[in-house]
Structure 1
Amino acid sequence: MPSTPFSRRTLFAGTAAGAIALTATGQAHAAAIGVDDRVNWGTYLGGLDPVWASVPTTFYQGPFLGNGGLGAAVYRISNKLAFKLGDTRVRDHQGTGGTNFGNARLPIGHLTLNTTGNVTDVDLRLSLHNAELTGTVTTASGVLNISAYVHAEQDVLVVTATVKSGNEKVAWTFTPSKARSPRLDFKPAPSGLKTNPDPKVSGTTCTQDLAAGGQTVTKWQINGDTMYATVAHTFPDKTANAKATQTLAAATSNAQLRNEHVRWWNSFYPKSFVSVADTRLESFYWIQLYKLASATRRDRPVLGTCGPWLEPTPWPGTWWNLNVQLEYWILNATNHQELDSLSYSLDRSRDALVANVPSQYRSDSMGIARTTQEDLKGGVAQPGADGDPECGNLLWALHNAWLGYRHSMDDDALRNFVFPLLRKAVNYHLHFLTKDSKGVYHLPKTFSPEYASSKDCNYDLALLHWGCTALIQANQRLNLNDPLVPKWRDVLDNLTKPPQDSTSGYWIGADVKFNKSHRHYSHLLWFYPLYEHDVTTNAAHRDALTKSVKHWLSFTGAQQGYTFTGSGSMYALLGDGDKARGQLVTLLDKYVQPNTMYKESGPVIETPLSGAQTMHDMLVQSWGGIVRIFPAAPAAWASVTLHNVKTEGAFRISAVRKAGKTVFVRVKSEAGEPLRLHPGNLPGPVEVRELPSGNQVSFQQNADGTLTIPLARNQDVVISTKGANPDLVIEPAGANTKRYWGMP
């Protein structure tokens, strides 16, 4: 049976059920103990690498490289191996038609390894550890050795190709793409949209001037067997050529560039470790972390739906009503705030967020539209307005920022970034709340993403409720004495209850029942990811979520991949690890492509990334002030290893599960916050020892199965069965001998 947050039978072995016990310190001469990290990262990740024994012919089959700005997708085009270039910073600036047309992300073109013979076979491996593609390419004229990477910190694609056998020769050509919005292949052009000039190729430089000003320049150079390429985009100035020239001038030594690149990536992964005895999902998980680091960095543009790899798509921008939020969740547990371009973009775009709301509300409010580019400019509708006013997106994006704060407990970030933006985002909704004759607050019509508009829309109600709760918590922590605290409390006390019924669960809103297939779970944000309703202690909430998920999934026509990641995380919240894993297996079977990308009408990057977060939700949860270890580990994951997984409260968690039982839990506090821990199905009675001294640490056993452990900043402890003294070994949960991803 999967472990659940409620099981405390083993924890209280030898203690009266429901009793509260306090264990005192002791052992003046305890033996020193420590964590033994035995992970060989090169070997471990090497066993999870995607490989190609067949020639990839589409983006969804091929390897992908990137550094958060420049990207390259590798697959066969016109019988040759091509490196299709993309860049998160390359877009139009006309304005006409907004994000999807006049401001759309623009395609660049592809570099072709112009071999004498057509490509007939490949033997390729994408090393996750080194972020490098290596192997052989076979053509009708011979065999080439090849290696390729996009430098981790410089905007340079480096490809080395040498003849291994036969009469093959190596040359490079560049084929530019037209600088037009990909959406034009799906929708007609808006009136006034200008056609950009044709690109001009001269020698090893391609210049793409834009009708609105600015330009994109692609430049490449050959040095022996190695090709170096870069892309530069400038606006409004036409200085991209100088920028590209400068970048390539610094790219003179492949050996030096590769050493820098490999060093960055080798130091990237060990910040956390997650291993489950389920090779297909384990490999999928680590490819998602590679993907996110290839797609974005803190100082790069906020992620668009495609990442840096722009393919045919009706969505050439950033979507704020689900996509962007799901894209970033995994960076918290993995401790990779250096990838948080979402928070950085929100912080630096405050003026745009203010300008997005109607002028009469700009003194105290902020908002964001459904879609924007990296400047975050996009007018937000007014609640109650005609059409479908989608108003809650900024609140949801700021929940991501809040999670970033909660995992770091950085009070400066809370004071200077999260609180002031959240205050203004909540204010926008407060302007439109009205009380009825019974003193209950209601919202006018707003839009539940991709479903319908309704009064008292659950999407907005849940986000507003969370926002007021978070503001009150922040105000108390920072001692701000904000004058709006009484208003926030009034809203929490008197906000209308979520529209629902006892049969089907939560509705879209007061005017709209949930009665058709819907890929989004916007009506269920109360439960996940906001956790405003606690299903572990409140039977009514648990029943409501159970019915809501069942009803939601009963309509199958419009489901998509993130239907299964979202429902998987909700099953994890309910403690049902087997169902959660089942949703992930369905995701992989039906929706995820050979290289772990995902597509609907075009590539959308958020769904596989959120699948990795579902795995986190099965293994560690930390909402509501409790850190829960293995809250929904499925029976299939009898062996699990976690190391330095970050939780809310800024705790670093290590834990090992073997034969379906928790062996030990190690917690290091980075901020000295109060720790309340549920140790999963760790057999009791338990003890807490300090690392490295081995001294006993006082703790309190609570009636709900949790432990309260007072920890100072940087204090490190291990929780285990009393007297067991387990070896604190961190190593992979199982052997990975089968390849699942790529085209093995």
Structure 2
Amino acid sequence: MRNHKFIFVLIFLAGVYASLQAQPAYESRNSAVLTTAPAKLPVKRVPAAAVAGNGDIGLTLGGNPDHLTFYLGKNDFWRAHPVYPGGGIAFPGGFDIMISDLAGASYRAEQQIGKARIAAEFGKGKLRVQMNTIVSATSNNVLIELTANRNSRLKFNLWPAEGNTSEVSNGKDKDVYRAVRSFANTPMLEWPSHVAIAMKVLNATTSSEQSVELPANKKVVFVLSMFTNHDRVDWKSHAISNVQNIDEQAVARLKESHEQWWSNFWSKSEIQIPDKMLEKYYYTSQYLLGSSSRKDKFAPGIWGPFITQDSSLWGGDYHLNYNYQAPYWAAFSSNQIDLTDNFDQPILDYMEKGKAHARDLLGQNGIYYPVGIGPKGLVTTRWPLTEDEMLKRYATRENTIDGGYKFLGQKINAVFSVGNMLMRFYSTYDSDYAKRVYPYMQQCAIFWEEYLKFENGRYVIYMDHFNEVMPNIRNKGIWRNRLGDFNSSLSIGLVKMLFKGMLDVSEHLNVDAERRDKWKHIVSHLSQPPVGEVNGRMALKSVERNVDSDNPPAVGLSRVSIHGLILPGGIAGPKTDAEFNKILLSDISHWKDNIASKADWANTSGNGIETCFPAAVRVGYSADSVLMYLKERISAQSLPNFWITQGGGGIETLAAVPLTINEMLMQSYEGIIRVFPNWNKRKDASFKTLRAYGAFLVSSKLEKGSIQYVDLDSEKGRVCVMENPWPGRKIKVVRGNGKTEFVEGERVSFSTSVNERLRLMAM
């Protein structure tokens, strides 16, 4: 009998284990649990609180159990003023729930990424209040459900943010409360912004004191909606009618469609690795980006929609010298193409102003972009409008530098965005998309065809700066003495990326054939990235020369040079230029020198975690070492909601872990697919439908040191080029129609058909 019980227990435990193993990798075990109320809200940066969003509306849960505050942000609510602070993305307002019986109560808020909701519980004595909150994935609604085990009472308050020249109002229409905030009449606003937040309560009767009974074991639901004039012309009346028309059945439908949307989101791709800490950050980063960005909505700024006050740092704008581009980098290989769809519109909307900048400030054609812009052609980075304010903030009265715009010595800002455009093009070969962005790329090419100088058999780049150059309190107005960078490694890389991309996209679209010889000449004759000797080895230089020296020291590969050469530049790698890659790999091997702790590796506490770690993988640095340093960096600087933080930005860090892991499991730069290219083969791992250049979805599994298979879904029927996952062995290719063929070699290629599915196995 005892043996039977023992066997039963074993079977039961095996079933539990199997169930856990079958559980999707993104599910509840990756939830963030916060056991103390957020201490610092509002903030100008990323909030250390439970958050939820739908890529347009962002909700940040603040306050204590007896006074909860729901901060409501929206990606399209901007104070369209050209200078920050004051200008940039603005804070609409919030909603408070006050339950005095919970004063001093325990706090537990779980940010559940699988269901995309915040599940909270507060307790004091015998009173327990549970709360579930979602930001609907398919509508402009927020649902807050409250249930108590004992009778209690709560008050509520819906409020608009005030100040910063805004006009605000509150009111009530029958059973719907409203809060309105507008920016419309301030001088120099480029366009008006209005937002309305509406709210009503289901399953409760409100009083004039804005309070309701919370009956024992009965759910009370607060339904909110939020619309701006950028959503629709009737923004205010629609916010009110939207809430008025929602009943319990509508709530159920909203919840069902919300769960379905997120289920579809998680089905796009999957990875499984043995390190569950990194897996947790991998999926939470995906969740946070999915909460921040959405197709057909305004693109997120530096902090996404999780805005808790006006004048967030850098105006929460679109910073074009990497901050705006970087959040999307992992979305391409993670097969989350829809999340990237909003990226291009603000870039395209600024083109006419970019042409004017090039013409008026440099006397040439093409487009020339400042460091920061916003949506709808807005510039956010004007110098202060008065000389006195300029003196206070920048130690000089000269507020007309570069026509009053912040270019900060950099000519390359427009080309930075071409990197994302090419990532999407190579990942999808979507002709409609290529037609949409080609005019922008074309204008970038026109600019650089004129700006490059052909000297001594090579194209060179004058006065385009590796770092930002600007007046500040420290340099006391002598900042112009820092101008003079020649052949920045950042610029060389991005310009080469641009013209290689022009050749590929123009051929795909069958346009500009007469210009390709010029572009080929630029690609083949552009100056090489500068290198020099340091301590007996060759290392990368930031610039070929600068104002200090005709032969500046070699400082090695850094975050900024990575942008030009590896991400998004994509012009360097072990297969692209093996000898140059050895220099980059040597530079990375010296990142560990002179660091205070492992968390300082790659110097990413300020900026660059999303850049340096995946670049180290691409170049071929030890995977185990990269993961070790990555975990140290995360442990040193991340929030309880699993948001990795850094000094200079917010949502760009969301690319760090997914891109690093994706690059370890599958690479496809220059159109060659590599499976488990930089992964410790002694560690089991698998991935499903990661997206590769060539419009392929790739799945594979590594088990007991052997790659079990490679599955391919070919979207566009292109020829597949792949490094042999089984070196020295033939590959069996099984097509969806059952036909089989064999290929062999160090690098193999084979044809595919549109929407064909294939499986590759070793022979």
**Normalized against structure 1, the TM-score is what?**
0.81
Q: Give the match for residue 27 of structure 1.
A: none
Distance across 1 between alignment mates of 2:439 and 2:533: 38
User: For 1:196, which of 151, 166, 183 is the aligned residue?
Assistant: 166
Distance across 2 between alignment mates of 1:119 and 1:515: 58
Q: Give the match for residue 633 of structure 2.
A: 587
Indicate yes or no: 2:163 matched with 1:162. Answer: no
Supply the AA of the counterpart residue of 1:697.
E
Kept after mapping to 2: 8 A contact 1:207/1:218: yes
User: For 2:462, which of 444, 450, 463 is the aligned residue?
Assistant: 444
Query: CA 1:255–1:528 in structure 2 vs 1: closer, same or farther (change >3 Å)?
Result: closer
Deviations 1:53-101 (A, max 9, x none): 4444456442211111111011325952221111111111243x2xx23
Which range moves more in the overlay, 508-517 or 580-589?
508-517
Distance across 1 between alignment mates of 2:224 and 2:406: 49
Q: Give the match for residue 432 of structure 2.
A: 412
Q: Give the match for residue 318 of structure 2.
A: 318
Supply the AA of the counterpart residue of 2:227.
A
Q: Give the match for residue 670 of structure 2.
A: 624
Kept after mapping to 2: 8 A contact 1:214/1:236: no
Alpha-carbon deviation of 1:387? 8.0
Kept after mapping to 2: 8 A contact 1:277/1:640: yes
Secondary structure of the 1:421 match is: helix
Deviations 1:484-538 (A, max 9, x none): 2222122223222222213362222222446789973346521333221342364
Which range moves more in the overlay, 483-492 or 268-277?
483-492
Q: Give the match for residue 187 of structure 1.
A: none
Distance across 1 between alignment mates of 2:436 and 2:527: 29
Query: CA 1:223–1:537 in structure 2 vs 1: closer, same or farther (change >3 Å)?
Result: closer
Alpha-carbon deviation of 1:305? 0.6
Query: CA 1:258–1:527 in structure 2 vs 1: closer, same or farther (change >3 Å)?
Result: closer
Kept after mapping to 2: 8 A contact 1:448/1:523: no
Give unpaired runs (5+ residues) of structure 2.
Answer: 1-19, 41-45, 187-191, 204-219, 383-400, 470-481, 547-551
Q: Give the match for residue 121 of structure 1.
A: 106
Query: CA 1:678–1:43 in structure 2 vs 1: closer, same or farther (change >3 Å)?
Result: closer
Asked which structure has the greater RCO (Cα within 8 Å, sep 6+), the reply is: 1
Q: Give the match for residue 242 of structure 2.
A: 247
Which range moves more in the overlay, 404-413 or 308-317?
308-317
Secondary structure of the 2:154 match is: coil
Matches within 5 A, 1:424-439: 424-436=443-455, 438-439=456-457
Q: Give the match for residue 410 of structure 2.
A: 390
Deviations 1:263-310 (A, max 9, x none): 211122112111112111111111111111110112111221100001
Indicate yes or no: 2:292 matched with 1:261. Answer: no
Indicate yes or no: 2:499 matched with 1:468. Answer: yes
Give unpaired runs (5+ residues) of structure 1.
Answer: 1-37, 181-194, 723-744
Alpha-carbon deviation of 1:427? 1.6
Secondary structure of the 2:367 match is: coil
Identity of aligned residues (%): 16
Secondary structure of the 1:284 match is: helix
Indicate yes or no: 2:221 matched with 1:216. Answer: no
Query: CA 1:240–1:356 in structure 2 vs 1: closer, same or farther (change >3 Å)?
Result: farther
Query: CA 1:376–1:519 in structure 2 vs 1: closer, same or farther (change >3 Å)?
Result: farther
Query: CA 1:358–1:118 in structure 2 vs 1: closer, same or farther (change >3 Å)?
Result: farther
Kept after mapping to 2: 8 A contact 1:137/1:144: yes
User: For 1:714, which of 755, 758, 763 is the aligned residue?
Assistant: 755
Distance across 2 between alignment mates of 1:47 and 1:629: 28
Matches within 5 A, 1:662-681: 662-680=707-725
Alpha-carbon deviation of 1:150? 0.5
Q: Give the match for residue 131 of structure 1.
A: 116
Distance across 2 between alignment mates of 1:377 and 1:176: 24
Supply the AA of the counterpart residue of 1:508.
S
Query: CA 1:265–1:655 in structure 2 vs 1: closer, same or farther (change >3 Å)?
Result: same
Kept after mapping to 2: 8 A contact 1:159/1:228: yes
Secondary structure of the 1:159 match is: strand
Kept after mapping to 2: 8 A contact 1:527/1:545: no
Distance across 1 between alignment mates of 2:196 and 2:154: 24
Query: CA 1:583–1:303 in structure 2 vs 1: closer, same or farther (change >3 Å)?
Result: farther
Query: CA 1:408–1:585 in structure 2 vs 1: closer, same or farther (change >3 Å)?
Result: same
C-alpha RMSD over aligned residues: 3.3
Distance across 1 between alignment mates of 2:558 and 2:242: 43
Kept after mapping to 1: 8 A contact 2:364/2:447: no
Kept after mapping to 1: 8 A contact 2:604/2:646: no
Indicate yes or no: 2:687 matched with 1:642. Answer: yes
Distance across 2 between alignment mates of 1:386 and 1:45: 44
Kept after mapping to 2: 8 A contact 1:206/1:217: yes
Q: Give the match for residue 660 of structure 1.
A: 705
Q: Give the match for residue 370 of structure 1.
A: 371
Indicate yes or no: 2:247 matched with 1:227. Answer: no
Alpha-carbon deviation of 1:642? 1.1
Distance across 1 between alignment mates of 2:541 and 2:301: 30
Kept after mapping to 1: 8 A contact 2:98/2:156: yes
Query: CA 1:258–1:523 in structure 2 vs 1: closer, same or farther (change >3 Å)?
Result: closer
Distance across 1 between alignment mates of 2:660 and 2:231: 42
Q: Give the match for residue 216 of structure 2.
A: none
Query: CA 1:241–1:565 in structure 2 vs 1: closer, same or farther (change >3 Å)?
Result: closer
Q: Give the match for residue 17 of structure 2.
A: none
Indicate yes or no: 2:577 matched with 1:608. Answer: no
Deviations 1:591-618 (A, max 9, x none): 2222122434586111132321111111
Indicate yes or no: 2:423 matched with 1:403. Answer: yes
Secondary structure of the 2:639 match is: coil
Secondary structure of the 1:578 match is: helix
Q: Give the match for residue 440 of structure 2.
A: 421
Which range moves more in the overlay, 267-276 or 118-127?
118-127
Distance across 2 between alignment mates of 1:684 and 1:125: 50
Secondary structure of the 2:265 match is: helix
Deviations 1:176-196 (A, max 9, x none): 43343xxxxxxxxxxxxxx33
Distance across 2 between alignment mates of 1:175 and 1:555: 51
